[in-house]
Amino acid sequence: MLGDSHSVLGRHSEAIEAYRHAVADLHAQETEHAYVHCLLKIAICYRALGKKSHAVRYLQACLPLIRELRLAGYEETALRELAACEVAVS
């Protein structure tokens, strides 16, 4: 994914933009796994930019979907990101 490439290079703002475009396309196609992946990656990039409130919003949006799809690895990552944002997890 283009967003992953930007993220690895530390270009988090560009990564967020690329993930947002992918989210719109994937949501329309009902590709849930890839959609959740992009939401999680957006959250990670926002936290890397120091925008914790934005990261939390995306994490809270994707965590129920992650649990519904039973994506254990993604759930661990999302919970770790929430903890890094200093948010209590229920």
Per-residue pLDDT of the chain (90 residues; tens, 9 = 90+): 788 788 878 889 998 888 888 887 776 666 788 889 999 999 999 999 999 999 999 999 999 999 999 999 999 999 999 999 987 565
The answer to whether position 28 is within a domain reads: yes
3-class secondary structure, 33: helix
The answer to whether position 90 is within a domain reads: no
First to last CA, the chain: 31
What's the total number of domains in the chain?
1
H runs (alpha helix) in 9-31: 12-29
| Full domain range(s) for residue 11 | 2-84
Rounded (to 5) percent helix, strand, coil in the chain: 80, 0, 20
The answer to whether position 89 is within a domain reads: no
| Cα 71 to Cα 90: distance, rounded to the nearest angstrom | 17
